[in-house]
Amino acid sequence: MVRNDAIAKAIRYASTVISTSNYFKDHKAEDPLYLETESFSPLPHQIFKPGWARRPAHGESYGDSYIQRYKDDLFRYYAAGELDSNKKMSAGKMREMLMRDYPSRFSIPGETEIKSWIGAQQTKKKYTKKGKGGSGRGRPSSNYSKGAWEKVVESIVELEPSAKPEDLYKSFLEMHIDENMFPTDVPRDEINNIDKKKIKQKITQYKSKLKKNAKMAIL
């Protein structure tokens, strides 16, 4: 499916102009400025160290750390909606409730972060079995077959494709607050701990796939 929105059309037009216009030169073109750069050798004080333009870290700007402070409240709001559909709240409404309950705080998570948290709860509900007694209570549901952990990872990435792999990995862990909730095929290391490296690799691969698909839809 080809995108036909304004951004996609602008990118295609720019690509055509760059590839056909005489104003843009490639490395084979003859230009006096190119000749000057061949003989240019920067002085020591003109060389910037790698990462010189990176903004230094300064505290927490957003994300998991803010959500962590209010998870008890969010769970309360979410549980109320599960028990009574009339009390279901959107991410925006939950944020309003937090601002009402904590009027003097400036660390209230944003609507996007709360929406991702709600999505994680819904995904967890989808992939785990509701406890109804018996020997199977609290154990992985039948949905957890071969490749189930990849499906969970993909659902998490799709909820927030722009999030960092580390944050998405934390969401994966938060969805399985009990050891028995993890898919039976989840990767584990030599001492039977969750294999963080393999899961983050899967997250990175799927993020790249989504990015590639979005790019192909434009061109």
Identify the burial level of 16 via C-beta atoms within 10 angstroms of its C-beta, where 0-12 means exposed, 13-18 middle and 19 or more buried: exposed
Distance between first and last Cα of the chain: 10
- Res 31: pLDDT: 66
Mean pLDDT by 10 residues, the chain (219 residues): 85 84 64 72 81 69 64 85 85 92 88 83 64 43 57 83 86 70 79 88 89 74
- Res 143: pLDDT: 44
**Whole-number Cα distances in Å, 101 to 105, 108, 114:** 9, 10, 16
Q: Is the pTM of this model over 0.85?
A: no
- Res 95: pLDDT: 92
- Res 160: pLDDT: 81
Q: At what angle do helices 165-175 and 196-218 cross, to 10 degrees?
A: 120
SS3 44: helix
